[in-house]
Structure 1
Amino acid sequence: MSNEATLLFGVGATKAGTTWLHRYLAGHPDCHLRSIKELHYFDALEEGRVTRVREELDEERARLAARPVPANRARAEARANRIGDLADWSAALADGSEAAYLDYLSNGRGTRRLVADITPAYALLPVARLKRMAAMASDVRFIYLLRDPVDRLWSHVRMIARTRANPGEAIGPRAGRILARVLAGEETHIAKRGDYCAVLTRLWAAVDPTRLCLSFYEELFSQASVDRLCAFLGIAAVPAEFSVRVHAGVPVPMSRDQRRAAAEWLAPQYDFVAERLGRVPAVWQSHRVGV
């Protein structure tokens, strides 16, 4: 990639703060991030879904173009920027090459020092693909955010329940049914996103440990943590906005029985992270025993 920009991959975890991270970096003066947070380039290649991803991009672009231009100038500019990014990314996917991917990330960068692709699905990629990603530029870095396993699972379950719910349907009962299926070994696509044992094992096998930052969601929303992330990325420490959380999800509480069952099922994840990283936040310790 030209001008030696740092290439960052944000690889998860799902429902662990990646959207907030994208927004912070997108507003950082040292960073150049396009408006599409999740590019799904590498997982689409692995799964043979490039054509489908392009179709989804073109459908979104057509919907946006059909809407009236907002009277608010900032919103109108954001709309135009999004439409342009969708068109550019669809064209890059049509090309299909890694060079086109890198050109898309860098287009418009100027002298900014970092470009990024924040796609949590990349955490599921095989080691060979992760190794190839790690060698795509002279300075490639990875960030993986870990969230308390029970909280992450329940947030993910609520998100899926919301997308499947009928108009006017209460989310709680549907979320409970999805959770029960996950704990019974079904809905494996949800469980895989929080399988820290498997994900970290793959990342450690593929990525130079000095180029991999692991951070806890529970500690992310403080300036000290953000400053550490900036230091890892080689960018200036810029104050972050913590008052607004994004994609917080539908506020449906877990029952005590649900929480205990989930904690028991996720016990290997708690134990693995605590053993391999040497510590976990306090909330992890309490949830580990179903409290």
Structure 2
Amino acid sequence: MTSAATDADNPQTDDRFQTARTLFFVIGAQKSGTTWMSKFMHDHPQIAVPAWKETNYWNIAEGWADVDYRLVAHQSKRDSESPIYTRFREIFRRESRAKDKAVTRALAAARNPAAPHGEYADLLFSDQAKTAQAHGELCPQYALLKPETYREMSQLGPNVRFIFIMRDPVERFISGVRHTLRKSLGRENVTQDAISKGVVETLNAPKSLALRRSDYRLTITDLEQHVPQSHIAYFFYETFFDQNEVQRLCTFLGVDHVTADVGRQVHKGAGSEAKVTQADKARIAGHLSEVYPFMRERFGDRIPEKWHASEALIAEGARAAG
């Protein structure tokens, strides 16, 4: 599939992007509060987001065949076998028709990602969103995009903003391993031994996406190549659930501050789950040894306290690896 970046210099762009007061993309790391943020934005009267949180539009436009391949495969079946969404709903049986529409539009647009991205504009600027002050979407996978794609996204309109929400890299890695094991083994089989084995296998996997997702310096460096720092807001999962941080988010997007239910953290880990050993945490920290100093230098006192405890494990992890 043609890379999204090949059309970055094409002057033709859907007019709706140009007239949007604020166009934004939440590219936060997975398991870092983006589901909570999506709910908040859906409820905010001045913010418009698609019915479904993760369209994966820009990943698919880059040619990511593995960005939930089930969507692509079943979308193709739906097109060839039926004029309705029967096949599609076989996989997302519990989801709303609005989600079907959102994904269908995103996939249709990504098949032809050349400007003016009209189908994508349909997704962001629905009839219900005409009165909104800020239009955008949330997709954690966007943290893995190429710098050229960030450039194209930043050129869609006159005021494009990016929001990157991050979580302690070791904890984010562990959360990803747990999620994978739940899907493959079932929640009841995610034991301490299973987690330990999953950690080792994931760390040793060639070009591990789990490690890439925890290496925030790569996303930050790629993003800041083409986007002014004033148009990027960085948040931390551990300190985000606070009215002051929510107000900072609203100010950044140019919308009124709305009081949020900061006590409701979606997908917060269950306390009864099997614990991760200190040795496994140290092993992960050793693989992420360059991330913590970068983040500390970049954000200083804003780094949450929990991150310091994980950083302290780096030396232990290095000894274990040696």
Q: TM-score, structure 2 length as denominator? A: 0.78
1:181 aligns with 2:197: no
Matched residue, 2:48: 32
Paired amino acid for 2:102 = D
- Distance, in Å, in 2 between the alignment partners of 1:130 and 1:269 is 21
Contact 2:251 2:257 (C-alpha < 8 Å) held by counterparts: yes
Where do 1:124-273 residues align within 5 Å?
124-165=144-185, 169-184=189-204, 186=206, 188-249=208-269, 251-273=273-295
Paired amino acid for 2:39 = R
Q: Could you list the runs of 4 or more consecutive aligned residues of structure 1 that deviate by over 6 angstroms after TM superposition? A: none
Q: CA deviation at 1:175?
A: 2.4
Among residues 15, 32, 42, which one is paired with 2:58 in the alignment?
Answer: 42
- Greater shift, 210-219 or 166-175, is seen at 166-175
- Distance, in Å, in 2 between the alignment partners of 1:81 and 1:100 is 15
Q: TM-score, structure 1 length as denominator? A: 0.86
Secondary structure in structure 1 of the residue aligned to 2:136: strand
Q: CA deviation at 1:145?
A: 0.9
Q: Deviations over 1:8-30 (max 9, x none)?
A: 11112122111111111111110
Matched residue, 2:123: 104
- Greater shift, 98-107 or 174-183, is seen at 174-183
Q: Deviations over 1:89-117 (max 9, x none)?
A: 44444554412212221012121111112
Q: Deviations over 1:63-98 (max 9, x none)?
A: 68679x99xxxxxxx834334434444444455441
- Distance, in Å, in 2 between the alignment partners of 1:23 and 1:131 is 28
1:15–1:237: structure 2 CA closer, same or farther, 3 Å change rule?
same
Paired amino acid for 1:276 = R
Contact 2:143 2:219 (C-alpha < 8 Å) held by counterparts: yes
Identity %: 27
Unpaired runs of 5+ residues, structure 2, are 1-14, 79-83, 317-322
- Distance, in Å, in 1 between the alignment partners of 2:215 and 2:35 is 20
Aligned length: 283
1:122–1:286: structure 2 CA closer, same or farther, 3 Å change rule?
same
1:56–1:27: structure 2 CA closer, same or farther, 3 Å change rule?
farther
1:167–1:200: structure 2 CA closer, same or farther, 3 Å change rule?
closer
Paired amino acid for 2:310 = H
- Distance, in Å, in 2 between the alignment partners of 1:92 and 1:216 is 32
Matched residue, 1:10: 26
Among residues 83, 86, 97, which one is paired with 1:62 in the alignment?
Answer: 86
